[in-house]
Amino acid sequence: MAKRIIISGGGTGGHIFPAIAIANALIALQPDTEILFVGAAGRMEMEKVPAAGYRIIGLDIQGFQRSNLAKNLLLPFKLLGSIRKSLQIIKDFKPHAVVGVGGYASGPLLYAASIKKIPYLIQEQNSYAGITNKLLGKKAEKICVAFDAMDTFFPAERIIKTGNPVRKESVQIVGKRKEAAAFFELDETKKTVLVVGGSLGAGTLNKSMMAGLALLQSQDIQLIWQTGKYYYRGIIDSYGNQPKDNGIRIFEFLNRMDLAFAMADVIISRAGAGTIAELCLVQKPVILVPSPNVAEDHQTKNAMALVNKDAAVLIDDKHAESDLVEQTLKLLKDEAKMKRLSSNIAELALPLADETIAKEVLNIAL
C-alpha cells in the first residue's frame, strides 16, 4: 500500500534542501509514496519545494523575534492557529508518518501529529538541540542525528546517527578542477580560496574579505567570493566588475557549488549543520566562522564538534575582520596541516544520510 508522508519545516536553505533530499530518497525507495510538505507561509520553502516537484501548504507561523520583542505579541495566536491548521491537514491528508526537519512549521505539525497519535521522526541537524525538538523528542519514534553525544537531549534508545542529507550534485567534485578553472576563468595551478556565506550572505565574512582583499592579492591567491543576496550590490559598487586577470571572482550566488568546491584549496564558511555535512563530503581544509546570531549559539557548537577532532579551524566572529585572511594565508602555507584537516574531516562524512532517514520513515509509517 502506498504510504502518505508529511515533511514539515523550513525557513532556510539549511532546512529545505535536506527535506527535499529526504523526499527524493523516499520516492527512490518507494515510488508510489505520496508526499506533502508543510512550511511557513512567506518563507523560501513556499518557492523551493514546488520547484522540486512537491506540494506544500503554508502555516502562518513565525519564530521568536529577539530583535523586535513587540512582534512576539502575536506569536501565541499564530501558534494556536498553526496547530489548528496542522490538525486539519492531518485529518485531510491522513499521513502514515510525519517528518520534522526543524524550522518554524515543524513544531506545530509534530505537536498535532502527537495529538493524533501519528508516528513521527525528528531530523535534528545540529550538535545542540533546540527547545522545540527537545520537547517533541520525548514522543518521537526516532531521532536522526548528525553528531555524537546527542543523548544529552534525546532518549538514547531512539537516536540513530545518520548524518545530514545534502544536495548530492554539490559535492560530486572528483576530477573537476580543470573544468572548474575554465568555468571561473582562473589559473588551475594557483592556490584558490572559496568564501561561502549562504544564500543570504554573511556580513562578517564579507567585511573580512573586504579588509583583507589587498593582502590576498599581494600573495597571488585567487578568490571565489559568494557574497549572498543582501550584500552583493554594495560589494560590486565598491569593487566594480573585477578584471579577468586579477584572480578575484565575486558572485551573489553560486549555481555550480561542485565546481566552486573543486577549485578551492581552502574553504571559508559559516557553520550551519547542512553546510558542515557538505564540507565533510568535500574533504577540503576548512576555516569556520560560526554565526553568533542563531538560537543557542548552535553554529559554534557545530564547529567545535569538528575542531575537537582536528577537522577544521575556528575563528570567532568578533575576531574575523582582523584575523581571517591572515589565518587563511597561514594555513595555505602549511601543507601538512592542510592534509591533516582534509583527512580528519573526511572521516566524519556520512554520505547516505537521505536514504538512511527515508528507510527509517518508512519503517515507522503506520
Residue whose C-alpha cell reads 565598491 in the numeric block: 238
Point out which residues pair with 124 in neighbouring strands: 145
* Rounded mean pLDDT, 112-135: 92
CA angle 267, 272, 278 (to 5 degrees): 55
132 is in an annotated binding site: no
pLDDT at 66 over 80: no
- Residue 58 annotated as lining a ligand binding site: no
Same domain, 139 and 240: no
Average pLDDT value for residue range 4-22:
87
Q: Give the Cα separation of 290 and 175 in Å (integer).
A: 30
Residues 238 and 102 occupy one common structural domain? no
Least confident of 130-144, 173-187, 311-325, 327-341: 130-144
Phi, psi torsion values for 238, nearest 5 degrees: -75, -40
167 annotated ligand-binding residue? yes
Q: What pLDDT is recorded for position 73?
A: 65
pLDDT at res. 17: 86
Please give the residue range of the domain that contains residue 268.
Answer: 169-346
Verify that 12 and 71 share a domain, yes or no: yes
Which distant-in-sequence residues (6+ apart) come within 8 Å of 276 by Cβ? 146, 164, 288, 302, 303, 306
Does 240 score more than 90 pLDDT? no
13 has a pLDDT exceeding 80: no
> Per-residue pLDDT for 322 more than 90?
yes
The response to whether 30 counts as a known ligand-binding position is no
> How many domains does the chain divide into?
2
Distance CA 269, CA 313 (A): 11
How far is CA 278 from each of CA 17, 201, 269, 351, rounded to the nearest angstrom?
Answer: 12, 17, 11, 9
CATH of the domain at 108: 3.40.50.2000
| Mean pLDDT, residues 339-362 | 96
The answer on 149 and 17 residing in a single domain is: yes
Q: pLDDT tens digit string along 73-94?
A: 666 777 888 899 999 999 999 9
Q: Is residue 59 predicted with pLDDT exceeding 70?
A: yes
Q: Is the same domain home to 264 and 117?
A: no
Residue 312 vs residue 45, higher pLDDT: 312
Q: Do both 15 and 158 map to the same domain? A: yes
Exposure string over 92-121, b if 16+ CB within 10 A, otherwise e: ebebbbbbbbbbbbbbbbbbbbbeeebbbb
Minimum mean pLDDT range among 8-12, 132-136, 341-345: 8-12
Is 299 annotated to bind ligand? yes
Do 8 and 128 sit in the same domain of this protein? yes
**pLDDT tens digits for range 259-309:** 999 999 999 999 988 899 999 999 999 999 999 877 778 899 999 999 999
Give the mean pLDDT of the chain: 90
Q: Which residues pair with 288 in a beta bridge?
A: 269, 314
For residues 23 and 147, state if they share a domain.
yes
**Same domain, yes or no: 40 and 94:** yes
pLDDT for the residue 70: 54
pTM (predicted TM-score): 0.86
Pair 274, 312 in one domain: yes
- Does 192 belong to an annotated binding site? no
Q: Are residues 270 and 324 in the same domain?
A: yes
Considering the domain architecture, whether residues 160 and 232 belong to the same structural domain is answered as no
Mean pLDDT, rounded, for 225-247: 79
Q: Could you read off the pLDDT of 167-210 as tens digits, one per residue?
A: 888 999 999 999 999 999 999 999 999 999 866 668 899 999 99
Reduced 3-state DSSP string for the chain:
CCCEEEEECCCCHHHHHHHHHHHHHHHHHCCCCEEEEEEECCCCHHHHHHHCCCEEEEECCCCCCCCCHHHHHHHHHHHHHHHHHHHHHHHHHCCCEEEECCCCCHHHHHHHHHHCCCCEEEEECCCCCCHHHHHHCCCCCEEEECCCCHHHCCCHHHEEECCCCCCHHHHCCCCCHHHHHHHHCCCCCCCEEEEECCCCCCHHHHHHHHHHHHHHHHCCCEEEEECCCCCHHHHHHHHCCCCHHHCEEEECCCCCHHHHHHHCCEEEECCCHHHHHHHHHHCCCEEECCCCCCHHHHHHHHHHHHHCCCCCEECCHHHHHHHHHHHHHHHHCCHHHHHHHHHHHHCCCCCCHHHHHHHHHHHHCC
How far apart, in Å, do the first and last CA atoms of the chain sit?
A: 11
The pLDDT, as a whole number, for residue 130 is 80
Does 104 have pLDDT greater than 80?
A: no
On whether 198 is known to bind a ligand per the annotation, the reply is no
